């Protein structure tokens, strides 16, 4: 019953395809009908306006005659009227019957259009389905005839088969008769149904004869089915889709129906090839793209099944290989798929290439299997030569072939070479010939470089050794030979090819030449080889300005830098950059780093784009330092970077990025002493003394920090305007210079212990602040901004360390034994002097703040001097007496009076406000603190003195303010 199911399914498919074909025909007729109707309507409208009213009464018979015309010929009726109607009213030219007839037919023009696509129960079940049902019934009748004979035992199996053949032949003969008398039959589906039923019966007859009854051998049954398939393909030209579908289904089902375990694979491949080719040809001739696509799907599907049959022999490999060549290259070239042609060819080439690759793998990568694969590529190349639109399929086969070659493990050198040469000749040589003939497509341009590069990579991955530094002459020769393909393509495209493709071909050629050179040279020469290739490319492209070609130069330059990593000595060479090791390789390492330096220098000289030019400048400067580091002692490297920056500043003043990179390298060397010094400074903010052994040594300063000072001092960059102030980057040298001077100054006192810090700390700080004040004052005459910064640093240093952290009033600091003339006077004099000098250099709105700071410093300084007079060198060690405490209050009042007089004389309100603040503090101290410790007459005397003092101060204040205008 399986064949019955197959044939029933075939009939259903035929029916569906028939309906699709009829729909296409109806759409075409609909377009033609619409054009005719529009033409008729344009010719009728003038006649309708000119015709007199009586005309409508004389022409009723005409519409009745036209309405009876079949609707499929409606377009013809509208297009032209019968001659009798056009000539009958010849004697009266003013009344024309044709206009009336056409007008009546066009009253409802859309009704026939709806009827063409409307569902008509009578039409479908009365006219369409019975014919097809009759064909299917006849096929089933043949089956039941055979079944009846079997059940009744009326005829022998041989006779049953003969009857099936006779019945099938009779049905086909009936189909032919219906075709010959198609005018009388008036329906082509009658012949199609009879032909389909006859072919189905013949398929059943051969199936029964070969498989069911064993009357003939499997081979004869198979040949019989093949003959029926050929007949079906031939009949499809006469009877249409049903025969084609039966040929398609039956042709590919025949091997499965009558096949056995010991099938003849070459014969089967030949049969499948003929079936696929016949169906493809029939589809092309009948303009049925689906038929060719279905045939190719069936053929390639059978190819996949044949590959599962186990280890193929010589004949099997040959037959299957040729079969895949036919399906992958020949048939797609001859198919004529129309709009599906390109995807059809690509899909066929891909599937056939993959199946042929699987055959090569299952065949043990034998020469025959490889030869068949190359035959596929050559066939695709041949058709691509004739038809350029088929070259994409050749690229598909090339990709699969390269993947297959990469999977070939254990290949002999000779065999691998032969196959690789074949792949190069077919998949790279043919595209090169197209380029040479100036008949190339885009895929040819990319295929030449892509195939050769892939072949080189596969060859070295199979036979080369990346880790061994040895001579590989054979691989080098092969790689160099592959480089000729893209090189010739680039030469041919030099004046006419797109810059992108030209750059690609040159890049592949240069990469292959570079790889070949590395295979025959020591690994340490890689940067030099890359530089040599860059020199050749630089000379070759000296007159080209395309960005793609300039990008090629950049690619080679980048490769020259990365080629430094290809030698085992690179680790030691990199360590040399930070003086991690001593120079070991000397001249060899120097040459290795000089090669990419030359490349980057050339790029910096040629490049027009600022960003890329700056990058090349910086890279060249860094490589120059690296080259020097390979031969110079470690302790000189910071000075080498600094001298390089200075030399670039004077020698190449228009290359600022280069010297900035050199300065950055110098700053890297200075990073350690700077971090050491900053760490000690941060600890000092917590009250920890800065001992001399906690900061960098003078030797470190000389080797690491002084080079940065020199490099920054000679930076020679253009000045910048910042808030109306001209700023130069050379001023940055003051920061490391201050650190270096501070470290050198710390060596003067060399404080290493707490005791030394107590005895000499204030003296050290005062001297340092005085030196900063002097330096700031000197700088004020030339660079006011720098001078103000230095003096501000001196004042801040005093406020933080002497005024807050290590103030003698609460920290153990030796100030000297002599009253007044001691370190307190010197320290506060420096601070007050700095504040006064800054007051004249700051904005006017900040002057009151500076005056307030001076008032605070003078007050604190006098209190400290008073404390030293009673307590000695270390004020914090002795307790405060009552006399000293009273004198502190008196001192506050005296200072307040002095500030009041000074403010009045200078006419500055800030001093007067300061005197008032100090006066309030002094009075509050007397009332709250001093009076609390007195009794009897002393308390009375204290308050009397305070009262007279306040009256006198008030009188003095009012007298000083007399005539002074009040502030707004």
Is 126 domain-assigned?
A: yes
CA 495 to chain centre: 31
What pLDDT is recorded for position 968?
41
Alpha carbons 595 and 623: distance in angstroms, whole number: 9
Domain match, 887 and 746 both: yes
Is 400 domain-assigned?
A: no
Domain match, 218 and 351 both: no
* Per-residue pLDDT tens over the stretch 367-398: 898 999 999 889 888 888 888 877 888 889 99
Is 967 domain-assigned?
A: no
Domain match, 820 and 916 both: yes
pLDDT above 90 for 784 = no
Domain match, 253 and 145 both: yes
What pLDDT is recorded for position 759?
94
Domain boundary among 678, 708, 738: 738
Higher pLDDT, 330 or 535: 535
Is 16 domain-assigned?
A: no
Alpha carbons 619 and 616: distance in angstroms, whole number: 5
Domain match, 772 and 672 both: no
What pLDDT is recorded for position 16?
53
Section 235-254 average pLDDT: 55
What is the reported pTM? Answer: 0.66
pLDDT above 80 for 263 = no
Domain match, 802 and 863 both: yes
Domain match, 460 and 530 both: no
Is 662 domain-assigned?
A: yes
What pLDDT is recorded for position 126?
47
Residue of 763, 704, 785 whose CA lies nearest to 739: 704
Domain match, 748 and 894 both: yes
Alpha carbons 411 and 454: distance in angstroms, whole number: 17
Domain boundary among 248, 263, 278: 263
What pLDDT is recorded for position 104?
38
Higher pLDDT, 287 or 297: 297
Say what percent of the chain tops pLDDT 70. Answer: 63
Continuous H helices in 652-719: 656-684, 698-700, 706-713
Domain match, 743 and 816 both: yes
Higher pLDDT, 518 or 721: 518
Domain boundary among 738, 765, 785: 738
Domain match, 379 and 429 both: no
pLDDT above 60 for 250 = no
- For 914-950, b/e burial (b = at least 16 CB within 10 A) is bbbbbbeebbebbeeebeeebeeeeeeebeeebeebe
Alpha carbons 699 and 705: distance in angstroms, whole number: 10
Is 614 domain-assigned?
A: yes
CB of 860 closer than 8 Å to CB of 835: no
* Per-residue pLDDT tens over the stretch 304-361: 777 776 677 777 788 788 878 887 777 676 666 666 667 777 888 888 888 888 888 8
Please give the tally of structural domains in the chain.
7
Domain match, 878 and 929 both: yes
What pLDDT is recorded for position 791?
92
Is 3 domain-assigned?
A: no
pLDDT above 80 for 433 = yes
1-5, 550-554, 660-664, 691-695: least confidently modelled range: 1-5
Higher pLDDT, 664 or 879: 664
Is 610 domain-assigned?
A: yes
* Per-residue pLDDT tens over the stretch 192-219: 666 666 666 666 666 566 555 566 665 6
- Which range scores top for mean pLDDT: 33-37, 147-151, 180-184? 33-37
Count the neighbouring beta carbons within 10 Å of the beta carbon of residue 237: 12
Range of the structural domain that residue 500 is part of? 409-521
Helix, strand, or coil (residue 698): helix
Domain match, 665 and 587 both: no
């Amino acid at each position: 019953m399986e064949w019955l199911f197959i044939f029933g399914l075939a009939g259903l498919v035929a029916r569906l395809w028939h309906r699709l074909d009829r729909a296409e025909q109806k759409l075409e007729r609909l377009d033609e009908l619409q054009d005719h109707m529009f033409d008729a309507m344009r010719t009728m409208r003038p006649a309708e306006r000119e015709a007199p009213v009586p005309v409508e009464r004389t022409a009723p018979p005409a519409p009745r005659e036209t309405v009876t015309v079949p609707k499929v010929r409606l377009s013809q009726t509208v297009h032209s009227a019968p001659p009798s109607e056009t000539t009958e009213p010849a004697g009266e030219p003013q009344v024309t019957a044709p206009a009336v007839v056409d007008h009546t037919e066009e009253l409802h023009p859309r009704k026939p259009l709806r009827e063409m696509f409307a569902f008509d129960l009578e039409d479908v079940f009365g006219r369409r389905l019975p014919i097809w049902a009759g064909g299917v019934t006849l096929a089933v009748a043949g089956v039941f005839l055979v079944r009846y004979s079997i059940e009744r035992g009326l005829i022998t199996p041989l006779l049953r088969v003969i009857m099936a053949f006779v019945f099938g032949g009779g049905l086909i003969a009936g189909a032919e008769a219906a075709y010959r008398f198609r005018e009388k039959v008036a329906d082509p589906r009658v012949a199609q149904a009879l032909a389909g039923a006859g072919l189905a019966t013949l398929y059943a007859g051969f199936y029964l004869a070969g498989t069911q009854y064993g009357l003939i051998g499997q081979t004869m049954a198979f040949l019989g089915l093949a003959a029926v398939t050929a007949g079906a393909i031939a009949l499809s030209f006469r009877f249409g889709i049903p025969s084609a579908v039966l040929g398609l289904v039956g042709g590919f089902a025949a091997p499965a129906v009558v096949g056995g375990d010991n099938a003849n694979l070459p014969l089967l491949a030949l049969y499948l090839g003929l079936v696929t080719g016949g169906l493809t040809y029939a589809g092309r001739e009948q303009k049925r793209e689906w038929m060719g696509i279905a045939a190719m799907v069936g053929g390639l599907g059978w190819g996949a099944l044949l590959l599962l049959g186990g280890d193929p022999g010589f004949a099997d490999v040959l037959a299957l290989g040729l079969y895949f060549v036919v399906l992958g290259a020949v048939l797609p070239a001859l198919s004529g798929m129309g709009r599906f042609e390109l995807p059809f060819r690509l899909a066929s080439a891909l599937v056939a290439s993959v199946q042929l690759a699987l055959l090569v793998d299952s065949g043990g990568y034998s020469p025959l299997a490889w030869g068949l694969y190359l035959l596929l590529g050559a066939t695709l190349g041949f058709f691509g030569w004739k038809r350029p639109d088929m070259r994409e399929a050749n690229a598909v086969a090339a990709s699969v072939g390269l993947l297959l070659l990469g999977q070939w493990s254990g290949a002999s050198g000779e065999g691998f070479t032969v196959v690789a040469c074949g792949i190069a000749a077919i998949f790279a040589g043919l595209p090169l010939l197209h380029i040479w003939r100036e008949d190339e497509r885009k895929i040819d341009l990319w295929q030449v470089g892509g195939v050769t590069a892939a072949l080189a990579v596969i060859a070295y991955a199979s036979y080369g050794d990346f880790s061994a530094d040895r001579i590989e002459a054979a691989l080098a020769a092969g790689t160099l030979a592959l480089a000729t393909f893209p090189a010739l393509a680039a030469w041919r495209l030099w004046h006419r090819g797109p810059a992108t493709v030209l750059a690609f071909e040159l890049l592949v050629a240069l990469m292959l030449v570079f790889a070949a050179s590395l295979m025959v040279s020591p690994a340490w020469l890689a940067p030099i080889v890359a530089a040599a290739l860059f020199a050749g490319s630089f000379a070759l492209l000296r007159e080209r300005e395309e960005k793609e070609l300039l990008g090629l130069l950049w690619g080679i330059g980048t490769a020259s830098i990365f080629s430094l990593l290809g030698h085992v000595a690179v680790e030691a060479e990199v360590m040399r950059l930070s003086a991690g090791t001593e120079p070991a390789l000397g001249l060899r390492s120097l040459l290795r780093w000089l090669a990419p330096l030359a490349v980057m220098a050339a790029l910096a000289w040629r490049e027009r784009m600022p960003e890329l030019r700056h990058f090349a400048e910086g890279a060249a400067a860094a490589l120059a330092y690296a080259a020097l580091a390979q031969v110079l002692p470690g302790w000189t490297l910071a000075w080498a970077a600094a001298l390089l920056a200075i030399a670039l500043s004077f020698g190449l003043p228009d290359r600022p990025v280069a010297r900035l990179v050199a300065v950055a390298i110098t700053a890297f060397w200075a990073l350690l002493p700077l971090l050491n010094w900053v760490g000690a400074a941060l600890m000092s903010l917590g009250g920890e003394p800065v001992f001399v052994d906690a900061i960098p040594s003078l030797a470190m300063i000389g080797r690491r920090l002084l080079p940065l000072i020199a490099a920054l001092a000679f930076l020679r960059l253009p000045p910048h305007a910042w808030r109306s102030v001209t700023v130069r980057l050379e001023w940055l040298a003051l920061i490391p210079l201050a650190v270096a001077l501070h470290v050198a100054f710390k060596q003067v006192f060399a404080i290493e212990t707490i005791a030394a810090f107590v005895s000499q700390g204030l003296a050290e700080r005062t001297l340092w602040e005085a030196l900063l004040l002097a330096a700031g004052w000197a700088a004020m005459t030339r660079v006011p901004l720098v001078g103000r910064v230095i003096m501000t640093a001196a004042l801040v240093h005093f406020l933080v360390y002497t005024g807050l952290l290590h103030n003698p009033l609460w920290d153990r600091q030796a100030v000297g034994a002599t009253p007044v003339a001691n370190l307190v006077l010197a320290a506060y004099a420096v601070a007050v002097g700095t504040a006064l000098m800054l007051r004249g250099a700051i904005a006017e709105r900040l002057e009151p703040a500076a005056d307030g700071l001076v008032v605070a410093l003078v007050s604190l300084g006098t209190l400290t001097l008073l404390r030293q007079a009673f307590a000695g060198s270390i004020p914090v060690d002795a307790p405060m007496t009552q006399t000293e405490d009273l004198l502190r209050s008196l001192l506050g009042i005296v200072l307040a009076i002095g500030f009041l007089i000074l403010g009045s004389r200078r006419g500055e309100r800030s001093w007067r406000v300061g005197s008032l603040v100090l006066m309030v503090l002094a009075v509050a101290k007397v009332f709250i603190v001093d009076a609390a410790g007195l009794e009897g007459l002393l308390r009375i005397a204290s308050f009397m003195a305070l009262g007279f003092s306040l009256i006198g101060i008030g009188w003095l204040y009012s007298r000083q303010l007399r005539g002074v205008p009040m502030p707004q």
